[in-house]
Structure 1
Amino acid sequence: MEVSRRTLKILAAVVWYAGGAALMRKGVSLLLESRRQDPESDCLFVAIGAALLLGGLKARFLFNRSCRRNLARIAALEHPRIWQFFRPGFFVALAVMIATGALLSRLAHADPRYICFVAAVDLTIAVALLGSSWVFWRERAFAAPSRAG
């Protein structure tokens, strides 16, 4: 089924934002759990600081470029299909990352420091995804195609 390039760009953005929101929610939940188990720990502040710093760097130097390249790839598709909003390798990597994140979260619940570490990883990726999402707006990914008269 052929779709518009705009539809693919919107789908890519929805997946990008959904991933960022899901990881933010999960990371905050894990931080609260860590804090509940060890109220005296400074883990909360270290995890948030690390997430902001490392997530910001990851957004700036990795995810921004990835977004731009994906939008350019979509724009170059001659006959865009619904499943082409990301490359097949992205979906494989996404499945592996989700499974790994679920496993790490499950393993973490015995130790508040490990919970905090997993939370920091989740929050770092969330900050990177949400921080780089501005590319969709800057590149006008949601704009309707202009009609040349």
Structure 2
Amino acid sequence: MIASVRTLNICAAIVWYCGGVALTLKGFSLIMAAGVMNTGGMGWRLAALLGIGLGALKAAYLFNRACKSNLERIAALRSPKIWNFYRAWFFIFLFCMIYLGGYLSHSAEGNYSFLLAVAILDISIGIALLGSSYVFWVRRAFSR
């Protein structure tokens, strides 16, 4: 089934935004769980700020470029199929990351430091995805 470049860009953006929202929410729920475990400490507050800061850096120096290159790749496809909005290896990588993220979150239950580490990881990736999503709009990915 041949799809338009616009359709592929929309599919790519949906996955990008869903990942960003899901990881950010999951990260902050882990921060809240850590906060319940240690209400008097500042560690969970610092972890939230660190996750946001690292996410902003990842967006600026890594994820922006990845988003741009994917949009360029999509635009260069000769007869794009609906599943071409990301490369095949990306879907394999995504599946592995979802599984690993669930495993890490489950393993971190009851361990304050581990909860914070996983929360920082989730928040930083979620913020990076959301922060770099402006590339879809700047590149007018939805109007092609």
Q: Into which bin does the TM-score normalised by the smaller protein fall?
A: over 0.9
Tell me the equivalent position of 2:37. Answer: 37
Tell me the equivalent position of 1:142. Answer: 142
Return the TM-score normalized by structure 1.
0.94
TM-superposition CA deviations, 1:90-146 (whole Å, max 9, x none): 111111111110010000002122111111110000110000000000000011x4x
Structure 1 runs (4+) deviating above 4 angstroms are none
Q: Find the aligned partners of 2:41 and 2:11 in 1 and give their Cα distance.
A: 40
Q: Alignment length, in residue pairs?
A: 144
Mapping of 1:1-149 within 5 angstroms? 1-143=1-143, 145=144
RMSD in angstroms over aligned alpha carbons? Answer: 0.9
Larger radius of gyration: 1
Is the 2:28–2:48 contact (alpha carbons within 8 Å) kept by the matching residues of 1?
A: no
Q: Percent identity between the aligned chains?
A: 47
Return the TM-score normalized by structure 2.
0.97
Mind listing any 5+ residue stretches in structure 1 that lack a counterpart? none
Mind listing any 5+ residue stretches in structure 2 that lack a counterpart? none
